[in-house]
Structure 1
Amino acid sequence: MPPYAVQGVEGAREVRDYRPRVVAEVTVRGDRRAAVNTGFGLLAGYIFGGSDGGGKIAMTVPVEQQNQGHGLWVVRFTMPAAAVAAGLPTPRDGRIVLREAPAARMVVEGFSGMPEGEDMAARAAGLKAWAEGRGLQVVGGPVYAFYDAPWTPAAARLNEVAWEVR
Protein backbone atom coordinates (compact mmCIF):
# COMPACT_ATOMS: atom_id res chain seq x y z
CA MET A 1 0.00 0.00 0.00
CA PRO A 2 1.40 3.45 -0.82
CA PRO A 3 2.72 5.14 2.34
CA TYR A 4 0.84 8.25 3.44
CA ALA A 5 0.24 10.47 6.46
CA VAL A 6 -3.29 11.56 7.37
CA GLN A 7 -3.46 15.34 7.81
CA GLY A 8 -7.17 15.61 8.61
CA VAL A 9 -10.33 13.52 8.90
CA GLU A 10 -14.00 14.37 8.52
CA GLY A 11 -16.29 11.35 8.50
CA ALA A 12 -15.24 9.01 5.68
CA ARG A 13 -13.07 11.74 4.12
CA GLU A 14 -9.37 12.26 4.74
CA VAL A 15 -6.67 14.63 3.60
CA ARG A 16 -3.54 12.53 2.99
CA ASP A 17 0.04 13.33 2.10
CA TYR A 18 1.54 10.60 -0.09
CA ARG A 19 5.29 10.18 -0.47
CA PRO A 20 6.88 9.62 -3.87
CA ARG A 21 6.49 6.04 -5.08
CA VAL A 22 7.25 3.90 -8.09
CA VAL A 23 4.29 2.65 -10.07
CA ALA A 24 3.70 0.29 -12.96
CA GLU A 25 0.92 1.60 -15.15
CA VAL A 26 -0.77 0.95 -18.44
CA THR A 27 -3.18 3.05 -20.50
CA VAL A 28 -6.13 1.15 -21.95
CA ARG A 29 -9.20 2.06 -23.97
CA GLY A 30 -12.77 1.14 -23.06
CA ASP A 31 -15.48 1.77 -20.54
CA ARG A 32 -14.37 1.96 -16.90
CA ARG A 33 -15.06 -1.65 -15.96
CA ALA A 34 -13.52 -3.16 -19.10
CA ALA A 35 -10.50 -0.87 -18.81
CA VAL A 36 -9.75 -1.77 -15.20
CA ASN A 37 -10.09 -5.48 -16.00
CA THR A 38 -7.79 -5.23 -19.02
CA GLY A 39 -5.29 -3.05 -17.18
CA PHE A 40 -5.29 -5.34 -14.16
CA GLY A 41 -4.62 -8.36 -16.37
CA LEU A 42 -1.65 -6.68 -18.08
CA LEU A 43 -0.13 -5.46 -14.81
CA ALA A 44 -0.73 -8.79 -13.04
CA GLY A 45 1.02 -10.52 -15.94
CA TYR A 46 4.03 -8.28 -15.33
CA ILE A 47 4.28 -8.80 -11.57
CA PHE A 48 3.69 -12.55 -11.87
CA GLY A 49 6.72 -13.03 -14.13
CA GLY A 50 6.02 -11.21 -17.40
CA SER A 51 9.33 -9.39 -17.34
CA ASP A 52 12.82 -9.76 -18.70
CA GLY A 53 14.27 -12.52 -16.54
CA GLY A 54 10.82 -13.58 -15.31
CA GLY A 55 11.19 -11.98 -11.89
CA LYS A 56 8.06 -11.91 -9.75
CA ILE A 57 6.87 -8.99 -7.65
CA ALA A 58 4.47 -9.12 -4.70
CA MET A 59 0.89 -7.97 -5.35
CA THR A 60 0.06 -4.61 -3.81
CA VAL A 61 -3.11 -2.67 -3.10
CA PRO A 62 -4.90 -0.71 -4.26
CA VAL A 63 -5.44 -1.09 -7.98
CA GLU A 64 -5.79 2.52 -9.10
CA GLN A 65 -7.69 3.81 -12.10
CA GLN A 66 -7.85 7.30 -13.58
CA ASN A 67 -9.84 8.57 -16.55
CA GLN A 68 -7.74 10.28 -19.22
CA GLY A 69 -10.73 11.24 -21.38
CA HIS A 70 -11.74 9.99 -24.82
CA GLY A 71 -12.26 6.44 -23.51
CA LEU A 72 -8.70 6.12 -22.16
CA TRP A 73 -7.95 4.97 -18.62
CA VAL A 74 -4.68 4.62 -16.73
CA VAL A 75 -4.55 1.59 -14.44
CA ARG A 76 -1.66 1.38 -11.97
CA PHE A 77 -0.07 -0.73 -9.25
CA THR A 78 2.30 0.72 -6.66
CA MET A 79 5.53 -1.26 -6.65
CA PRO A 80 6.67 -2.62 -3.27
CA ALA A 81 9.59 -0.69 -1.78
CA ALA A 82 11.67 -3.89 -1.46
CA ALA A 83 11.22 -4.68 -5.16
CA VAL A 84 12.15 -1.11 -6.11
CA ALA A 85 15.27 -1.29 -3.92
CA ALA A 86 16.27 -4.62 -5.49
CA GLY A 87 15.75 -3.23 -9.01
CA LEU A 88 12.51 -3.72 -10.89
CA PRO A 89 12.65 -6.04 -13.90
CA THR A 90 11.79 -4.59 -17.30
CA PRO A 91 8.24 -5.44 -18.42
CA ARG A 92 8.06 -7.60 -21.55
CA ASP A 93 4.86 -5.80 -22.58
CA GLY A 94 5.82 -2.40 -23.96
CA ARG A 95 2.47 -0.93 -22.90
CA ILE A 96 3.52 -1.12 -19.26
CA VAL A 97 5.39 1.94 -18.01
CA LEU A 98 7.43 2.12 -14.80
CA ARG A 99 7.68 5.63 -13.39
CA GLU A 100 8.04 7.58 -10.19
CA ALA A 101 4.82 9.17 -9.01
CA PRO A 102 5.68 12.38 -7.16
CA ALA A 103 4.59 13.24 -3.64
CA ALA A 104 0.99 14.43 -3.57
CA ARG A 105 -1.65 15.75 -1.20
CA MET A 106 -4.95 13.95 -1.82
CA VAL A 107 -8.47 14.21 -0.47
CA VAL A 108 -9.85 10.69 -0.22
CA GLU A 109 -13.25 9.16 0.53
CA GLY A 110 -13.58 5.47 1.30
CA PHE A 111 -16.72 3.46 0.64
CA SER A 112 -17.88 -0.14 0.53
CA GLY A 113 -19.93 -1.94 -2.08
CA MET A 114 -19.47 -2.72 -5.73
CA PRO A 115 -17.76 0.14 -7.57
CA GLU A 116 -20.36 1.24 -10.11
CA GLY A 117 -19.92 4.14 -12.51
CA GLU A 118 -22.77 6.43 -11.50
CA ASP A 119 -22.16 5.97 -7.78
CA MET A 120 -18.45 6.61 -8.19
CA ALA A 121 -19.03 9.71 -10.32
CA ALA A 122 -21.44 11.09 -7.70
CA ARG A 123 -18.94 10.38 -4.91
CA ALA A 124 -16.17 12.04 -6.91
CA ALA A 125 -18.30 15.15 -7.50
CA GLY A 126 -19.27 15.34 -3.83
CA LEU A 127 -15.68 14.96 -2.67
CA LYS A 128 -14.48 17.62 -5.10
CA ALA A 129 -17.13 20.06 -3.84
CA TRP A 130 -16.17 19.21 -0.24
CA ALA A 131 -12.48 19.94 -0.94
CA GLU A 132 -13.20 23.19 -2.75
CA GLY A 133 -15.55 24.24 0.07
CA ARG A 134 -12.58 23.96 2.44
CA GLY A 135 -10.37 26.18 0.30
CA LEU A 136 -8.40 23.39 -1.35
CA GLN A 137 -7.54 23.76 -5.04
CA VAL A 138 -8.26 20.55 -6.96
CA VAL A 139 -5.41 19.95 -9.42
CA GLY A 140 -5.91 16.34 -10.55
CA GLY A 141 -8.21 13.36 -10.51
CA PRO A 142 -10.39 11.74 -9.74
CA VAL A 143 -8.45 8.58 -9.01
CA TYR A 144 -10.42 5.45 -8.11
CA ALA A 145 -8.81 2.83 -5.88
CA PHE A 146 -9.92 -0.77 -5.37
CA TYR A 147 -8.54 -2.89 -2.53
CA ASP A 148 -10.29 -6.25 -2.71
CA ALA A 149 -10.44 -9.40 -4.82
CA PRO A 150 -13.45 -9.74 -7.15
CA TRP A 151 -15.00 -12.45 -4.98
CA THR A 152 -15.03 -10.26 -1.83
CA PRO A 153 -18.65 -9.61 -0.76
CA ALA A 154 -19.79 -6.07 -1.58
CA ALA A 155 -20.33 -5.09 2.06
CA ALA A 156 -16.75 -6.09 2.94
CA ARG A 157 -15.06 -4.22 0.08
CA LEU A 158 -12.98 -1.08 0.42
CA ASN A 159 -12.98 1.35 -2.48
CA GLU A 160 -11.81 4.95 -2.57
CA VAL A 161 -12.17 8.03 -4.71
CA ALA A 162 -9.48 10.72 -4.50
CA TRP A 163 -8.51 14.12 -5.89
CA GLU A 164 -5.09 15.73 -5.83
CA VAL A 165 -5.23 19.10 -4.10
CA ARG A 166 -3.06 22.05 -3.17
Structure 2
Amino acid sequence: MLAKIIDTAKQVAEGVGALVGIRAGTEEPMYVPEGTLGSAVEIRRYGPRIAAQTSVTGSEESARSDGFRRLANYIFGGNHRQTKIAMTAPVAQQNEKIAMTAPVAQSRGAGGESVIRFYMPSKWSMDLLPEPDDERVELVEVPGETYAVLRFTGDRSPQAVAQKGRDLLDALRDSAFQPQGDPVAWFYDPPWTLPFRRRNEVAVLVEASG
Protein backbone atom coordinates (compact mmCIF):
# COMPACT_ATOMS: atom_id res chain seq x y z
CA MET A 1 0.00 0.00 0.00
CA LEU A 2 2.80 2.40 0.93
CA ALA A 3 4.62 1.58 -2.31
CA LYS A 4 1.42 2.34 -4.26
CA ILE A 5 1.05 5.73 -2.55
CA ILE A 6 4.71 6.56 -3.24
CA ASP A 7 4.25 5.44 -6.84
CA THR A 8 1.21 7.69 -7.30
CA ALA A 9 2.98 10.66 -5.72
CA LYS A 10 5.97 10.10 -7.96
CA GLN A 11 3.81 9.97 -11.10
CA VAL A 12 2.03 13.18 -10.10
CA ALA A 13 5.37 14.89 -9.49
CA GLU A 14 6.70 13.71 -12.83
CA GLY A 15 3.52 14.87 -14.57
CA VAL A 16 3.93 18.34 -13.05
CA GLY A 17 7.59 18.26 -14.04
CA ALA A 18 6.70 17.42 -17.65
CA LEU A 19 4.34 20.41 -17.69
CA VAL A 20 7.29 22.76 -17.17
CA GLY A 21 9.81 20.77 -19.22
CA ILE A 22 11.55 18.76 -16.50
CA ARG A 23 12.52 15.36 -17.93
CA ALA A 24 13.73 13.62 -14.75
CA GLY A 25 14.94 10.08 -15.30
CA THR A 26 14.49 10.08 -19.09
CA GLU A 27 17.51 8.68 -20.88
CA GLU A 28 18.74 10.43 -24.02
CA PRO A 29 20.97 8.91 -26.70
CA MET A 30 24.63 9.59 -25.90
CA TYR A 31 26.62 11.84 -28.21
CA VAL A 32 29.99 13.56 -28.40
CA PRO A 33 29.87 17.31 -29.16
CA GLU A 34 32.08 18.07 -32.15
CA GLY A 35 31.76 21.86 -32.16
CA THR A 36 29.33 24.64 -32.97
CA LEU A 37 28.41 26.89 -35.88
CA GLY A 38 27.72 30.37 -34.58
CA SER A 39 25.72 30.45 -31.37
CA ALA A 40 22.82 28.20 -32.38
CA VAL A 41 23.95 25.07 -34.26
CA GLU A 42 25.74 22.18 -32.55
CA ILE A 43 27.58 19.35 -34.29
CA ARG A 44 26.98 16.03 -32.50
CA ARG A 45 28.44 12.59 -33.12
CA TYR A 46 26.04 9.83 -32.03
CA GLY A 47 26.95 6.19 -31.54
CA PRO A 48 24.91 3.22 -32.81
CA ARG A 49 21.48 2.84 -31.18
CA ILE A 50 18.20 0.96 -31.52
CA ALA A 51 14.81 2.48 -32.30
CA ALA A 52 11.23 1.30 -32.51
CA GLN A 53 9.70 2.98 -35.54
CA THR A 54 6.51 3.13 -37.58
CA SER A 55 5.45 4.79 -40.84
CA VAL A 56 2.22 6.82 -40.85
CA THR A 57 0.40 8.63 -43.66
CA GLY A 58 -1.44 11.92 -43.16
CA SER A 59 -0.51 15.42 -42.08
CA GLU A 60 2.60 15.84 -39.95
CA GLU A 61 0.68 16.57 -36.76
CA SER A 62 -1.85 13.75 -37.14
CA ALA A 63 0.91 11.34 -38.18
CA ARG A 64 2.93 12.33 -35.12
CA SER A 65 -0.08 11.66 -32.89
CA ASP A 66 -1.01 8.34 -34.55
CA GLY A 67 2.61 7.16 -34.62
CA PHE A 68 3.14 8.09 -30.99
CA ARG A 69 0.09 6.06 -29.92
CA ARG A 70 1.19 3.09 -32.03
CA LEU A 71 4.68 3.08 -30.51
CA ALA A 72 3.33 3.77 -27.02
CA ASN A 73 1.20 0.63 -27.33
CA TYR A 74 4.39 -1.32 -27.99
CA ILE A 75 6.30 0.05 -25.01
CA PHE A 76 3.31 -0.39 -22.67
CA GLY A 77 3.09 -4.13 -23.31
CA GLY A 78 1.88 -4.56 -26.89
CA ASN A 79 4.64 -7.06 -27.62
CA HIS A 80 5.17 -10.82 -27.68
CA ARG A 81 6.45 -10.95 -24.10
CA GLN A 82 4.03 -8.33 -22.75
CA THR A 83 7.10 -6.52 -21.42
CA LYS A 84 6.40 -3.10 -19.98
CA ILE A 85 8.61 -0.43 -21.51
CA ALA A 86 7.41 2.35 -19.24
CA MET A 87 7.90 6.06 -19.79
CA THR A 88 8.14 6.38 -15.99
CA ALA A 89 9.80 3.92 -13.62
CA PRO A 90 7.48 2.93 -10.69
CA VAL A 91 8.99 2.44 -7.23
CA ALA A 92 7.70 -1.16 -7.08
CA GLN A 93 7.14 -3.12 -10.28
CA GLN A 94 7.10 -6.89 -10.62
CA ASN A 95 7.56 -7.14 -14.35
CA GLU A 96 10.57 -6.11 -16.40
CA LYS A 97 10.59 -2.44 -17.30
CA ILE A 98 12.47 -0.42 -19.90
CA ALA A 99 12.39 3.34 -19.59
CA MET A 100 11.61 5.17 -22.82
CA THR A 101 14.27 7.62 -23.95
CA ALA A 102 13.95 11.08 -25.49
CA PRO A 103 13.64 12.41 -28.12
CA VAL A 104 10.76 11.20 -30.26
CA ALA A 105 11.99 11.56 -33.84
CA GLN A 106 9.91 12.42 -36.91
CA SER A 107 11.10 12.36 -40.51
CA ARG A 108 9.67 11.77 -43.98
CA GLY A 109 9.88 8.42 -45.77
CA ALA A 110 10.54 7.91 -49.46
CA GLY A 111 6.80 7.78 -50.18
CA GLY A 112 6.02 10.99 -48.27
CA GLU A 113 4.80 9.24 -45.12
CA SER A 114 6.01 10.27 -41.66
CA VAL A 115 8.45 7.96 -39.90
CA ILE A 116 8.12 8.19 -36.11
CA ARG A 117 10.82 6.74 -33.83
CA PHE A 118 11.25 6.02 -30.14
CA TYR A 119 14.90 5.39 -29.25
CA MET A 120 15.43 2.45 -26.92
CA PRO A 121 17.58 2.67 -23.78
CA SER A 122 21.25 1.89 -24.29
CA LYS A 123 21.30 -1.26 -22.12
CA TRP A 124 19.00 -3.16 -24.51
CA SER A 125 20.04 -5.14 -27.60
CA MET A 126 18.07 -6.37 -30.60
CA ASP A 127 18.23 -9.91 -29.16
CA LEU A 128 16.67 -8.87 -25.85
CA LEU A 129 13.97 -6.42 -26.93
CA PRO A 130 10.51 -8.02 -27.32
CA GLU A 131 8.96 -8.35 -30.78
CA PRO A 132 6.07 -5.89 -31.37
CA ASP A 133 2.53 -7.27 -31.64
CA ASP A 134 1.69 -4.63 -34.25
CA GLU A 135 3.31 -5.52 -37.57
CA ARG A 136 3.43 -1.79 -38.41
CA VAL A 137 6.02 -1.33 -35.64
CA GLU A 138 9.57 -2.49 -36.30
CA LEU A 139 12.83 -2.46 -34.40
CA VAL A 140 15.75 -1.01 -36.33
CA GLU A 141 19.46 -0.59 -35.70
CA VAL A 142 20.54 3.00 -36.27
CA PRO A 143 24.24 3.37 -37.18
CA GLY A 144 26.57 5.93 -35.67
CA GLU A 145 25.93 9.29 -37.31
CA THR A 146 27.00 12.93 -37.13
CA TYR A 147 24.26 15.56 -37.02
CA ALA A 148 24.06 19.33 -37.13
CA VAL A 149 21.37 20.29 -34.61
CA LEU A 150 19.38 23.47 -34.06
CA ARG A 151 17.46 23.69 -30.79
CA PHE A 152 14.31 25.77 -30.28
CA THR A 153 11.35 26.17 -27.94
CA GLY A 154 7.70 27.09 -28.39
CA ASP A 155 5.70 26.37 -31.54
CA ARG A 156 6.33 22.96 -33.11
CA SER A 157 3.70 23.08 -35.84
CA PRO A 158 4.73 21.78 -39.28
CA GLN A 159 5.25 25.37 -40.43
CA ALA A 160 7.48 26.22 -37.47
CA VAL A 161 9.49 23.01 -37.85
CA ALA A 162 9.93 23.59 -41.59
CA GLN A 163 11.19 27.14 -40.96
CA LYS A 164 13.70 25.91 -38.37
CA GLY A 165 14.86 23.31 -40.88
CA ARG A 166 15.50 26.07 -43.42
CA ASP A 167 17.36 28.08 -40.76
CA LEU A 168 19.55 25.06 -40.06
CA LEU A 169 20.40 24.51 -43.72
CA ASP A 170 21.14 28.24 -44.12
CA ALA A 171 23.57 28.03 -41.19
CA LEU A 172 25.41 25.15 -42.88
CA ARG A 173 26.00 27.02 -46.13
CA ASP A 174 29.70 27.76 -46.68
CA SER A 175 30.58 25.78 -43.53
CA ALA A 176 32.87 22.77 -43.19
CA PHE A 177 29.84 20.49 -42.91
CA GLN A 178 27.70 19.39 -45.83
CA PRO A 179 24.08 18.26 -45.21
CA GLN A 180 23.20 14.71 -46.28
CA GLY A 181 19.44 14.62 -46.89
CA ASP A 182 16.60 16.61 -45.34
CA PRO A 183 16.27 17.81 -41.73
CA VAL A 184 14.38 15.66 -39.23
CA ALA A 185 12.50 16.83 -36.13
CA TRP A 186 13.19 15.70 -32.55
CA PHE A 187 10.69 16.33 -29.72
CA TYR A 188 11.67 15.91 -26.07
CA ASP A 189 8.45 16.89 -24.28
CA PRO A 190 4.79 15.81 -24.31
CA PRO A 191 2.15 18.08 -25.91
CA TRP A 192 1.00 19.46 -22.56
CA THR A 193 4.42 20.95 -21.72
CA LEU A 194 4.21 24.75 -21.62
CA PRO A 195 5.41 25.98 -25.04
CA PHE A 196 8.21 28.19 -23.70
CA ARG A 197 9.58 25.20 -21.71
CA ARG A 198 9.58 22.71 -24.60
CA ARG A 199 12.80 21.34 -25.99
CA ASN A 200 12.51 20.81 -29.74
CA GLU A 201 15.29 20.28 -32.26
CA VAL A 202 15.77 20.00 -35.99
CA ALA A 203 18.74 17.95 -37.12
CA VAL A 204 20.36 16.95 -40.38
CA LEU A 205 23.01 14.34 -41.16
CA VAL A 206 26.30 15.98 -42.12
CA GLU A 207 29.69 15.07 -43.47
CA ALA A 208 32.82 17.17 -43.06
CA SER A 209 33.93 18.59 -46.40
CA GLY A 210 37.53 18.31 -47.46
For the superposition of Structure 1 and Structure 2, which TM-score range results when normalised by the shorter chain? over 0.9
| More off after superposition, 53-62 vs 65-74 | 65-74
Identity of aligned residues (%): 39
| Corresponding residue for residue 72 of structure 2 | 44
Question: 1:141 deviation in Å?
Answer: 2.9
Q: Secondary structure at the match of 1:122?
A: helix
Partner residue, 2:50? 22
Q: Deviations over 1:7-66 (max 9, x none)?
A: 112312100001010111000001100011011001111011000010012221111000
- Greater shift in the superposed pair: 81-90 or 128-137: 81-90
Report runs of 4+ in structure 1 exceeding 3 Å deviation: none
Residue in structure 1 matched with residue 15 of structure 2 by the alignment: none
Asked if the contact 1:30–1:71 (Cα under 8 Å) also holds between the matched residues in 2, the reply is: no
108, 113, 136: which one pairs with 1:67? Answer: 108
2:84 pairs with 1:56? yes
Alpha-carbon offset, residue 76 of structure 1: 0.1
Give per-residue Cα distances to partners, 1:104-145, cap 9 Å, x unaligned. Answer: 110000000020122211110121121132032211231100
Distance in 2 of aligned mates of 1:132 and 1:103:
24
Check the 8 A contact 1:132/1:138 in 2, yes or no.
no
Q: Which amino acid in structure 1 is aligned with residue 152 of structure 2? A: F
Residue 119 of structure 1 is aligned with which of 136, 156, 160?
160
Residue range with higher mean Cα deviation, 84-93 or 146-155: 84-93
Per-residue CA deviation, residues 55-107 of structure 1 (Å, 9 max, x unaligned), is 01222111100012554010001101223387100000001110110111100
SS in structure 2 of the partner of residue 46 of structure 1 = helix
Structure 2: segments with no counterpart, 5+ residues: 1-27, 86-98
- Which residue does the alignment assign to 2:92? none
Q: What is residue 154 of structure 1 aligned with on the other side?
A: 195
Is residue 143 of structure 2 the alignment partner of residue 102 of structure 1? yes
For 2:156 and 2:110, how far apart are their aligned partners in 1? 19
> What residue in structure 1 maps to residue 59 of structure 2?
31
Larger Rg: 2
Q: Structure 1 residue 164 and structure 2 residue 205: aligned?
A: yes
> Taking structure 2 as the reference length, what is the TM-score of the superposition?
0.75
Partner amino acid, structure 2, of 1:34 = S
Match of 2:30 in 1: 3
**1:126-166 CA distance string (max 9 Å, x none):** 21121132032211231100001111100000000000011
Which stretch shows the higher mean deviation, 31-40 or 63-72?
63-72
SS at match of 1:125: helix
